Amino acid sequence: MEQTKLMQLIEPVIKGLGFELWGCEYVPRRRQSLLRVYIDRRDGITLDDCGRVSHQLSGVLDVEDPIGGAYILEVSSPGLDRQLFKAEHFRRYCGHRVRIRLKWLIEGRRKFDARLRDVEGKQVRVVELEKAYVIPLAAIEQARLVPDMTQT
């Protein structure tokens, strides 16, 4: 199953229901794999929203059958500690704190807890303890926002 084709299949369904496809994760497992789909909307996501999207996606996925074998479909909000999937997500959250785990070492490190400075081309710039780092998007295994609990 190719991630891009899956996104192309489910995104029109999600947009048609009035939501943004924030991202998705496919976790292959021996018995039952997991397809996790994150949806978002400006005024937030409710449990009913997740149920509606899940119902619609189940129908499309059953007909198109893009995933071989058994899997669980999970639809949820990206949450406060949302994972950043695309360059536009990083742009949207410039100035915020992020936790980044890399696929390979950069300057001898695989993990960063830093402030997102900007995005240029296919790279993000972060600052951690007053030191700047340039990280290629391709090197990022996972990036998550760190919620700021001081804001009201």
Is 150 within the bounds of a domain? no
CA distance 53 to 10: 10
pLDDT above 70 coverage of the chain, percent: 97
pLDDT (0 to 100) of residue 68: 79
Give mean pLDDT, residues 54-64.
Answer: 92
Helices (H) and strands (E) in the chain, counts: 3, 8
Please give the span between the terminal C-alpha atoms of the chain, in angstroms, as a whole number. 42
Is 81 within the bounds of a domain? no
CA distance 106 to 136: 10
Range of the domain at 63: 3-76
How many separate domains does the chain show?
A: 2
Q: Is the pLDDT reported for residue 2 higher than 70?
A: no
User: Same domain for 7 and 70?
Assistant: yes
Give mean pLDDT, residues 53-79.
Answer: 90
User: Same domain for 28 and 69?
Assistant: yes
Give mean pLDDT, residues 7-36.
Answer: 92
Is 46 within the bounds of a domain? yes
Is 131 within the bounds of a domain? yes
User: Same domain for 51 and 93?
Assistant: no
Last residue of a domain, which of 28, 46, 76? 76
User: Same domain for 69 and 119?
Assistant: no
Last residue of a domain, which of 76, 103, 130? 76
pLDDT (0 to 100) of residue 44: 92
- Which residues sit opposite 113 in a β-bridge? 99
User: Same domain for 58 and 102?
Assistant: no
Per-residue confidence band for 1, with pLDDT thresholds at 50, 70 and 90: low
pLDDT above 90 coverage of the chain, percent: 78
Is 115 within the bounds of a domain? yes
The whole-chain average pLDDT of the chain stands at 92
User: Same domain for 68 and 102?
Assistant: no
Last residue of a domain, which of 54, 76, 98? 76
Per-residue confidence band for 109, with pLDDT thresholds at 50, 70 and 90: very high
